[in-house]
Structures are given as C-alpha cells and as structure tokens.
Amino acid sequence: MPGAQQHLIPFDEGQFPGRLPEAVKLVEPADPGDAKGVVLSCRESRNAVGYQLLLGADPAAVETYQVLADTPEPPVLALETLPFDPAFWTVRVRDAQGSTVHADPRPLSRVGLTWRVENLRSGERSTSIQAAIDVAWEGDEIVVQPGVFHENLSIGTRRLTLRSVDPQDLDLVSRTVITSLGRPRRTVLDIRNVSDVSVLGLSLIGGSHGTRCAKSDVTVENCLVLLNLQGMAIENSSVTLAHCVIADNQGAGVTVSAQGRQRGLTSQLLSCVVANNGSYGIEAVQGLVDLDQCTLLENRGPGVSAGTATLIRSLVYYNGPDASGPQLEGVEIEAIESNIQGGWPGVRNRDEDPGFECLRRLCPTPLFENGRVKLPGHYRR
C-alpha cells in the first residue's frame, strides 16, 4: 500500500515495551591464529540483551542444543573439539522481555575445526569447501586437504578448479571425501549455469547424486563417485569424465539428458570404470556419449543404453540382472576395437571373456571407514 511504513508500531508502548530482536547473522568461522580450532561468533543484533552460542547434533532440534556461551554481547568462542561429528552451531538472542530468535544452524565437523581448504590465488584458508567457493573469484583454484567433509556443494556463475592436494594419488583421493549432509540425501556436488569448471581428485559419496551438472561445461578427472542413490547426472551440459570410478550407486552410474539445441552436446568418458551400479551403467536417451578405453562391468542394467553413442577400445561385460543380458541397447551405437559380451558389429570388435570372476563374487562393495574409501582391486585402472 503506498506510503505504508515498513516496521511495527506498538499500540501502547508503555504497556507493551518489547522490541523483537533483529534476525541473527552468523559470522563465518574465523582462524584463531596460533591456536587450534575455530572462532565462532555473530554480528550484533538490535534489541538483543543476551546472546547464547549453541551446539547440537540435529539441525531441526535447536531446543536440545548445549549452551556453550551466554553473554550480553555477541559471543566470541574458540572451539577446539566437538562432542559429535558432524555438529551444528547457531546463536540465539533474546530481548528484555525474553523473546528469542536464532539463526539457522550451520554444520561443523571435526575436519571443519582445521583449516583444510585453501584458495591458491588469495592464500585464504577456510574450514568449509562451500565457504571457499562462495568467495572465490573467476578462475580461482581451491585445494582441499584430506578429510571427510559433510557438505552439499554448489558451483554456479564462476569458472574455477576444485581439487585435492594431488589428484593423481589414489590414496589421497580416497581420503579426500565429500559426503551429503543430513537427511534426506541431497546432491553432493551441484554445478549449474557455468563454463570451464574442473573437479579433480575427489571422492563424492552418499548423496542423492554424487555430481549433477546442468547447463554447464565441466571436466571431472580422477574422481570416485560411489555409494550414491544416483552416480552422476548430466543435463544439457558438455562434460568430460577422465580416469574416474563410478561404482556401487543404487541407480544408474551416469545419466545424460538434453533438450532442444543442447541435444547436440557431447559428453565424453575417457579411461573410466563404471561398475556395479543398480541400473544402467550409462543411460543417455537424449544427448551424445563418446567412450574411449572405458570399462563397464556388472551394472544391473545394460552397460550402455543410448540413442547415440560411440565406444572405442572399451570393455563391456557382465552387465544385466543375470550378468549375461544385452550389454548395449540403442538406436545408433557404434563400437570400434571393443570387447563386448555377446559381440557387436564394427571394426575389430570381439567377444572374449576378460578372464576374471564375476566382480559381485570376487570384490566386496567398496567400504567407507576411518575416513577413507577402500576400492576393490578391479576398480583400479
């Protein structure tokens, strides 16, 4: 309504003197300098006469949180240990009449008590990968130290590189783990509307999707995408996957979809292993897929189901519910110099048993324990 005031006016200030506290704004955890841990605090809230810094295990049950500090001013607390992992922290403020308000709880893990994420350009360190992404500039490179990070990451609008300390070192990759935070599961790494993003040497586990790319140009190299509901979703995007393991996801390993003009976009898999997923190895009803020197083994559906796909020097075996069903299905699938169970027309294709037992019997599901992914031998490439 024109001219309407944008604040509450008490009917009788003498009788009702209360002023609700201003919404709480948490401060990003700060580096305590030489000390270990992090410093937690918030900005000053108008009308607040008291501040409580709270820590708990359930983001939906703030009433159960421990009170770590109760101060008349914004708290400043150095926290070195956590009673549980992950934990959630917030600040609750109160006015003179006892009305309270708190900020949405933020996650904090034991990994988050150390400064394991660094922007190589600026030298700035962070306890959170997402916090580093949020303040990154175009073209920045963010390096993640080994550890288990309970985060759901989102990259959009900025060109950047996100990587482990050494993407070529499988041991380091298996110990640099990003896993979905809370329930229900969400996508571990969501990339949208951005070009030239590189993700190198990370383990992405336990989400609704390990990675989801929409309207983006992305390179994913030397990554482990394991134990998600769905492995990787590529939507109206051009994605290159190189030297990745996409295995033991409940649904498909990789899904590719495209609409309109994006149907001409091609996704490439180079020297990847797609194994033991609960549905298709690769499903690309729309969009183009090229595979070179890839291994597709023991997926519960066909190794590849696609409208248009090209396979070069690849192995496709033991796929289907009984490990002997159709390995490939689609309208236009070209294979060259590939070993495909049941055979496939094409130059120098063959049907030769690869010579090892069924992976379901030979190799247990990859384990995730003690902060590390353990891979069966045949998943290494």
Residue 343 placed within a domain: yes
What pLDDT score does 55 carry? 94
What pLDDT score does 36 carry? 63
CATH code of 75's domain:
2.60.40
Examine the domain organization and report whether 303 and 185 are in the same domain. Answer: yes
What pLDDT score does 107 carry? 84
Residue 244 placed within a domain: yes
What pLDDT score does 22 carry? 87
What pLDDT score does 11 carry? 47
Domain boundary at 73, 108, 143, which?
A: 108
Q: Write the CB contacts of 304 (distance below 8 Å, at least 6 apart in sequence).
A: 280, 281, 282, 284, 289, 291, 296, 311, 316, 327, 328, 329, 330, 333
CATH code of 352's domain:
2.160.20.10
Residue 5 placed within a domain: no
Residue holding tokens 């383990």? Answer: 203
Residue 328 tokens, joined: 């490939």
Instruction: Check the CA dihedral 302-254-163-114 and report its sign.
Output: negative
Residue 36 placed within a domain: yes
Examine the domain organization and report whether 320 and 236 are in the same domain. Answer: yes
- Phi then psi for residue 377, to 5 deg, are -60, -40
Residue 10 placed within a domain: no
Residue 17 placed within a domain: no
Q: Write the CB contacts of 133 (distance below 8 Å, at least 6 apart in sequence).
A: 142, 153, 154, 155, 158, 160, 162
Number of domains in the chain: 2
Range of the domain at 97: 26-108
Residue 141 tokens, joined: 């490179």
Examine the domain organization and report whether 40 and 139 are in the same domain. Answer: no
Residue 1 placed within a domain: no
First to last CA, the chain: 66
Domain boundary at 108, 143, 158, which?
A: 108
Examine the domain organization and report whether 95 and 228 are in the same domain. Answer: no
Examine the domain organization and report whether 245 and 264 are in the same domain. Answer: yes
Examine the domain organization and report whether 91 and 139 are in the same domain. Answer: no
What pLDDT score does 113 carry? 65
Q: Please give the Cα distance from 129 to 137 (Å, whole number).
A: 14
Examine the domain organization and report whether 213 and 349 are in the same domain. Answer: yes
Examine the domain organization and report whether 64 and 135 are in the same domain. Answer: no
Examine the domain organization and report whether 135 and 80 are in the same domain. Answer: no
Domain boundary at 68, 86, 108, which?
A: 108
What pLDDT score does 361 carry? 41
Examine the domain organization and report whether 199 and 126 are in the same domain. Answer: yes
What pLDDT score does 260 carry? 56
- The tens place of each residue's pLDDT in the chain, 381 residues long, gives 344 344 444 445 566 556 678 889 998 877 665 556 788 899 999 989 999 999 998 888 999 999 999 999 999 988 878 888 778 999 999 988 888 999 999 888 766 567 789 999 998 888 889 989 999 999 999 999 998 888 999 999 789 999 999 999 988 999 999 999 877 889 999 999 998 999 999 999 999 999 999 999 999 999 999 999 999 999 999 999 999 999 999 999 999 998 755 566 789 999 999 999 999 999 997 778 999 999 999 999 999 999 899 999 999 999 999 888 899 998 799 999 999 999 999 999 999 988 754 444 444 455 566 666 666 555 543
Residue 12 placed within a domain: no
Examine the domain organization and report whether 103 and 123 are in the same domain. Answer: no
Examine the domain organization and report whether 86 and 207 are in the same domain. Answer: no
